[in-house]
Amino acid sequence: MNAEAIESVREFNRFYTKVLGLLDKHLLDSSYSLPEARVLYELYHRQPCTASDIMDVVEMDKGYLSRVLTLFTRKGLLAKKKSKEDARAMFLTLTSKGNSEFEKINRASIEQVKTIAKTLSSSEQIDLVMHMNAIQKILNRIK
């Protein structure tokens, strides 16, 4: 890839993170950072699961994930239960408060996309989704 193309990719990344507010201290006016919200998302969709399951999916440093899980436990969002098969393994599930927190962030994310989309015509919305799917398909090949 030539220097101009590299700069275009970097410019798009900066643009898109700004559009979604991904560099804001808290995501979607919640009390959670982007990494915390991502862990909350994975816990919600994978429960019960282990910390290793989450670590594999989000590709987060073990120490950082441990701090996030400790924070969630302290806030009453996360429950841990020892595995009956392997006493070393802990299964993680969100508490009702944790599920509620995720659902608030999820609704805010849906509203954010709707707000962006309503400024676009129907054909622009179709093009946007088609191009995003194409980018994802191309980048999935390198994983």
Phi-psi domain of 59 (left: phi exceeds 0; alpha: psi -120 through 50; beta: other):
left
pLDDT per residue as tens, the chain (143 positions): 889 999 999 999 999 888 888 877 778 889 999 999 999 999 999 999 999 999 999 999 999 999 999 999 999 999 999 888 877 789 999 999 999 999 999 999 999 999 999 999 999 999 999 999 999 999 999 86
pTM value is: 0.86
The full set of domains in the chain, from first to last, is: 3-140 (1.10.10.10)
Residue 143 confidence (pLDDT): 67
Helix, coil or strand: residue 86: coil
Q: How far apart are CA 60 and CA 56, in angstroms?
A: 8
DSSP 8-33: HHHHHHHHHHHHHTTTSSSGGGSS--
Residue 38 confidence (pLDDT): 95
